[in-house]
Amino acid sequence: MSTSGSNTGNRPLYIGVSTKMYMGYQASLRWLSEVRSFVDDRPGLAAKDSPVRVFVIPSFPVLEPAGRILAGSPVLLGAQNCAWGDGPLTGEVSPGMLAELGVSLVEIGHAERRRLFAEDDAVVARKVRAAVGHSLTPLLCIGEPDKLDAGAAADFCVGQVLAATEGDSALAARLVLAYEPVWAIGAQEPAPPQHVNAVLTRIRAALGPGCPIIYGGSAGPGLLPQLPAADGLFLGRFAHDAANLARVLDEALLLRQTDAPANSSSSRS
């Protein structure tokens, strides 16, 4: 899963969904089959040089059948978490096993993991290194806990990235960053586009163009064209209706087919 490039129309847009624990086993399989169907109906997603990359992150028990449902599809399979190793870690899932299951990226450092399971920067850093050690792409979640101005929010997020990578720029280049302001997760509306564009522009200025930065936090159809500074969207509950995911995929394809005019006018505020 390449993370090279700069914030231009040449960089792929990443569109992904985490189902968290909102779906049961059979419902998850039905949803994955619907996603597969919608992706198959869009030939532009299947090309090796497709400008849009799709990923799905179902619950752990669904990963094996998900791999079978998505076989031969361009959809990338992700996991919602991983352990920092293997062995005596009862109840955890190792990055090595995830790799065996065909997982290509793993979500690390989500705000819920930090808040509910006390995962601090040190734990996140261990997981990032473990994932990369098994050739998985860490989808590192970053975001300020409270509403801050764009400069302060960006500083907070950059600090999270530096902590997660222990200042290793080569490691940082292996990431996909998911900017999810904690106050926007589960909210009625996403964070204001002006705020998101300003924060992402500042993060990119601080970290360089080494990795994609996507936006998550009550994201849904209609948002992507308003975020010229974003390299895609990390969708939540709105995309649990697969038809809404299809709408976002159409928006992403249209942006790239028209030479991504939104991405050529990134906010510099």
**pLDDT tens across 54-111, in order?**
999 999 999 999 999 999 999 999 999 999 999 999 999 999 999 999 999 999 999 9
Contact by Cβ (8 Å): 154, 191: no
Instruction: Determine the Cα angle at 172 with ends 167 and 174, to 5°.
Output: 150
The strand pair at 137-142 and 105-108 is best described as parallel
pLDDT above 90: percentage of residues in the chain: 87
Q: Catalogue the active-site residues.
A: 110, 180
Query: What is the structure's pLDDT at 96?
Result: 97
**What is the tally of helices (H) and strands (E) in the chain?**
9, 8
Q: Quick one: angle between helices 25-40 and 242-257, nearest 10? A: 30
Of 87-101, 139-153, 223-237, 246-260, the poorest mean pLDDT is in 246-260
**pLDDT tens across 145-195, in order?**
999 999 999 999 999 999 999 999 999 999 999 999 999 998 889 999 999
Q: How far apart are CA 80 and CA 109, in angstroms?
A: 10
Stated as kind and residue range, the H or E segment containing 40 is: helix 25-40
